[in-house]
Amino acid sequence: MTALHDRHPALAAADPELAALIGAEERLQADTLRLIPSENYVSQAVLEASGTVLQNKYSEGYAGKRYYEGQQNIDQVESLAIDRAKALFGVDHANVQPYSGSPANLAVYLAFLQPGDTVLGMSLPMGGHLTHGWGVSATGTWFRGVQYGVRRDTGRIDLDEVRDLALAERPKLIFCGGTAVPRVIDFAGFAEIAREVGAVLVADIAHIAGLIAGGAHPSPVPHADVVSTTTHKTLRGPRGAMLMCRQEHARAVDRAVFPGLQGGPHNQTTAAIAVALREAATPEFGGYAHQVVANARALGEQLAARGFDLVSGGTDNHLLLIDLTGRDVPGKVAAKALDRAGVVVNYNTVPYDTRKPFDPSGIRIGTPSLTSRGVPESEMATVAEWIDRVVTAARGGDEETVVKVRAEVKALMDAYPAPGLPLV
């Protein structure tokens, strides 16, 4: 990589302490195998768009209806992002202002529910998200959260169970999607249940938005009433979010985001979202999305061949959830050893986990970042071997193996430079 003072000379001169930390993070992201499924590498173009003078502008309101003057360019930036989102996902309406996924989901509650109303969502330890009505979240304290999970025998959602729960509890809102769901979401099936009970269906596609855009996962459009997504996971944009919906819900969704929940939009993020959406509309991005899935499948097969217990038996998308109970290593111990080896994952609950969320039985891994570096399926045997060696080493406190793997990881990463991290 070029030195940080060459890439960011003003920052390096003005604040060497902070510049050193950013330089160290660039080095870390370049040298490690990043397997957290909700992370990615944005392109240099997205990176540049998110660090511009758009930062300096307040724009409360929407294009053509702002509370501040001087919006000649900002209105066009936001309209461009909206038009690209609508075209890419085939939706009537898009709001690109939510600051991130949790505020986006909270805006959906504000748009459709009153405090105390019932929401049906997937439980967090089964693979859902905090904002789908989980108890410690505002969505589970200000609203009545009812939760579905996966079947113990298959590790998959059972729509008959979801339907029974919906008929018994009569939710006003149903969430589908999650953060640790390795299988295809049956959006049409969820829509049928929502219709039956008169609920609004929200598809939270944060994890799989890029796969949907690239044609590697079925779309929730036209099944869901509202589609919520972050923009920084498989979609490979900046940290932000979008809400998309049918025209009939456009006003309610817009009013909930602003003035209901937020102030001025982060225009620099809006611009970077627009760039990412343009990138996601290209044939190259379709190839990327399919390769993410092919890599995850290959990695799953290699891990299964090494005796790893994969929740649901494998994957249809970008992520794998591994239950380490049979390996006799807690998820956190394995995740920390892998981190020392330069393989970055997160510890995660597995369905019906007997351990606590802060010290669970599993790890969650995914292929969006390594695929952005161009690492092919043929390398997945090596990745699985590293995970196997380090998990085994973690059990026995074998730090020598951890150090050896770190050097091997660095060598492979050097062969596949990451976007946004220019080489010398």
Residues lying near ligand DSN in the complex (CB under 6 A): 38, 101, 129, 179
Q: Give catalytic status of residue 230 as yes or no.
A: yes
Q: How far is the CB of 282 from ligand DSN (least distance, A)?
A: 25
Q: Give catalytic status of residue 192 as yes or no.
A: no
Q: How far is the CB of 368 from ligand DSN (least distance, A)?
A: 11
Which position's Cβ is nearest ligand DSN?
38
Q: Which is nearer to ligand DSN, 71 or 229 (CB)?
A: 229
Q: Which is nearer to ligand DSN, 180 or 191 (CB)?
A: 180
Token pair recorded at residue 319: 């992520």
270 with 55: CB under 8 angstroms? no
Q: Which of 31, 48, 60, 117 is catalytic?
A: 60
Q: Which is nearer to ligand DSN, 101 or 265 (CB)?
A: 101
Q: Give catalytic status of residue 60 as yes or no.
A: yes
Q: Which of 66, 144, 239, 340 is catalytic?
A: 239
Q: How far is the CB of 132 from ligand DSN (least distance, A)?
A: 11
Q: Which of 84, 172, 183, 233 is catalytic?
A: 233
What span, in angstroms and rounded, lies between the C-alpha atoms of 83 and 232? 19
Q: Report how far Cα 258 is from the mean position of its chain's Cα atoms.
A: 24
Q: Which of 31, 39, 58, 352 is catalytic?
A: 58
Q: Which is nearer to ligand DSN, 38 or 317 (CB)?
A: 38
Q: Give catalytic status of residue 163 as yes or no.
A: no
Q: Give catalytic status of residue 233 as yes or no.
A: yes
Q: How far is the CB of 179 from ligand DSN (least distance, A)?
A: 4
Bridge partners of residue 122, in order along the sequence: 148
Name the nearest CA neighbour of 331 among 306, 364, 300, 301.
Answer: 364
Identity (one letter) of the amino acid at 192?
E
Q: How far is the CB of 248 from ligand DSN (least distance, A)?
A: 28
Q: Which is nearer to ligand DSN, 228 or 371 (CB)?
A: 228
Q: Which is nearer to ligand DSN, 71 or 105 (CB)?
A: 105
Around Cβ 53, how many Cβ atoms within 10 Å? 9
Q: Which is nearer to ligand DSN, 95 or 230 (CB)?
A: 230
Q: How far is the CB of 101 from ligand DSN (least distance, A)?
A: 5
Bridge partners of residue 175, in order along the sequence: 202
Identity (one letter) of the amino acid at 143?
F
Burial per residue of 375-401, b for 16 or more beta-carbon CB atoms within 10 angstroms, e otherwise: bebebbeebbebbbbbbbbbbeeeeeb
Name the nearest CA neighbour of 128 among 237, 202, 234.
Answer: 202
Q: Which of 118, 230, 269, 367 is catalytic?
A: 230
Q: How far is the CB of 423 from ligand DSN (least distance, A)?
A: 29
Q: Which of 204, 279, 309, 323 is catalytic?
A: 204
Active site residues: 58, 60, 204, 230, 233, 239
